[in-house]
Amino acid sequence: MSGFADHFSRHAPEYAAFRPHYPPALVAWIASLARDHALAWDVGTGSGQAARLLAPHFERVIATDASAEQLAHAEAHTNVEYGCAPAESSGLASASVDLVTVAAAIHWFDHPRFYAEVQRVLRPGGVIAVWSYDLVHVSPAIDAITEWFYEERVGRYWPAGRRHVETRYRELPFPFEELPFGDWAIEAELDRAAFVGYVGTWSAVGRARQAEGRDPLPEFEARVAPLWPDAKATKPARWPLFARVGRWNG
């Protein structure tokens, strides 16, 4: 696992609890692009969100992550097999996989090595889908605080790979026959604790805690609280999704 930059293991319980859930319809659509449905590989699976959604569509789902701590918080499913492995070296058999998925993680990978591994394990005609999401939208006033926190308060702590999220994966290398991706979004009802908890899972927040020796999150919540005075009241939250989807014709 040489070179693995672990931004999330220290906060794996929070990641499992507070990260938004992907729309089942999105994953069903991605699964429908595969020509066969024997095996899917979910890479950088974290707590297994995407893997569990893939499970109804494939005979087997192998879900890997380089973080054992993240996998310790993954929810079991009958046909999902979790394994600790770097994205660039899966241990899977060549030409054995029908679909490769990466949810909110490819921006951390070694892209040349990962794509070589994808091309090795995918069957000819197999599909790769990688996706992530924009900053959460709640209301114009709250969104302005979220943007301030993201850019100014913890902005200097974002790892370099985050730039691919900021450019919505447009600059991500992607050596596959591109397929179109529609207008998708994650939508949820959050109370204030869940909203603040989600922001607390950002890698930059964890790095700020380490660098500064204090938690920047209370400062964020103090600015949000006057606009969300009832902490138990829920508000609709929306994360626009973006992706690169392609077919390997090798």
Give domain status of residue 2, yes or no. no
Give domain status of residue 4, yes or no. no
Phi, psi of 181 (to 5 degrees): -125, 130
The model's confidence at residue 18, banded by pLDDT at 50, 70 and 90, is low
Give domain status of residue 18, yes or no. yes
Q: What is the rounded distance in angstroms from the CA atom of residue 9 to the CA atom of residue 29?
A: 30
211: domain range? 9-248
Give domain status of residue 204, yes or no. yes
Give domain status of residue 202, yes or no. yes
Which tens digits make up the pLDDT trace of 221-248?
999 999 999 999 999 999 999 999 999 9
Q: What is the rounded distance in angstroms from the CA atom of residue 217 to the CA atom of residue 224?
A: 11
- Provide the CATH number for the domain around residue 220: 3.40.50.150
Number of structural domains, the chain? 1
Whole-model pTM: value is 0.89
Give domain status of residue 139, yes or no. yes
Which tens digits make up the pLDDT trace of 23-56?
999 999 999 999 999 999 999 999 899 999 999 9
Give domain status of residue 3, yes or no. no
Give domain status of residue 184, yes or no. yes
